[in-house]
Chain A
Amino acid sequence: MTTVEMEDRAAFRTQRRNSALIDIAGVLLTILIALVAAFVIVAMLGKNPVDAFTALITGPLERPNRIGNWLEQTTTLTILGLSVMIPFRTGQISIGAEGQLYLGALAGAVVAILLPLPLAVAPIVATVVAMVAGGVAGAIPGVMKARLGANEIVATLMLNVIIVQIFDYLVQNLLRSETSTAAVSDQIRSEYAWLRLQELTGIPLSRANVGLLVALVLAGLVWLLMSRTSLGFRMRIVGGNPEFAKYAGLPVARTIEWSFILGGAVAGLAGAHLVFGVFSRLEPAMASGLAFLGIVIALLGRNNPVGIVLAAAFYAYLRVGGDVMEQQTDVGSELIIIIQAMIVLLVTAQALPMIVRRLRAKRKAD
């Protein structure tokens, strides 16, 4: 008999609560270790780590526009984290968010540049177009994986390359603005722009916009999808054990396809946020590296919508703080990448929760 079987309900609940706390403690410890290591590295470079860390930690809150930057990045990273989480929970290692984001941004922007629409429907139409485009970009590797047995990592990675090339080509040629010297597209029509938080609150919050609320609502919807719908049930079973899903008669291939399509649609929404909320036009490399951050966010947030919102907020804060640090001290924002790398290593190794558990067990035994 295992120990769980011998426990009563109350003991089990306590134990489950404890293990959730251990998980959270592990994540916090991960972050702390990464920050301490970064601190030591700065000191070893002969620079002043106290100044650098003061800028990093207090910088983002010092001015409203920095808070705005923080909220804007939180929005993008939350949506991307959620987009990665859906296939992850279905057991699919999709790294296609980048291509899906760009295709969504491209499709949304084309509509928003060329098609005059009434203000009431314009943002919704363009957002739906972006999400459908992202979904299509997700469906391609999804079908390849589910029906043809292609490796989803390779399929999504290759598709990223293709889409990014097409995007760059179009932005630099067909869609290139005639009025701008840089290789960017025309501005989107004004009726498509997402409302800035500055217009709502009167505080100069830079480019932060209603996308933040969209991201929070989306987190709730993704939670509902995974835990309250039969599609989410199928995704969890397929993610838990695809052989079991097959044996139980679940439509495994279709479930995998849906996870890619929905993940792609959410990534397309992230693209819509960048076009309609942040840049108001297409720019080359407008989201470079962001999609891969989505993977970090999903891992750090333990593939849980609430965790992803928190992880995105934390990570966006670091990025904004890193920029402040770079401006105010002689420590470059590359430090943030070091911190990110440490976090990825520690989280993927899952070492810390285990260490916390072991320490607790030892204390209990003594």
Chain B
Amino acid sequence: MSILKREKLPLKNSGDIVLARQKVRQWAAEMRFSLVDQTKLVTAASELARNTLDHGHGGEMTLELVNGLAKTGLKLIFEDQGPGIPDIETAMKDGFTSGGGMGLGLGGSKRLSNEFSIESEVGKGTKVTVLRWK
């Protein structure tokens, strides 16, 4: 994969979540994703940005326009230096009814993306990467 374009955005307050959504929308529209795919990207970004803010105590989002073997894609990386996630498996389960919502954000974002990966270390931070191919 080669990176054709990259941009970083801070995620420090709830206003930044709105900015992040708008930025992802802008990139996805420029890349001519279908409307449904754009919506999925922006929604996943919103979920993960909120996680970074609420659970990671703030961090940043990186957008990357990537080139695969015969396709292009939009990669979003969410990083924070927060408390980290002790049990990733449980965190990935849909926790909608529990009201906290982090499980919903992670599991949901995975379903909304073509590729998903997460790295987290307690006390160090978390990094979530999602990608959607065009």
The finding on whether chains A and B are genuine partners in a shared complex, rather than unrelated, reads no
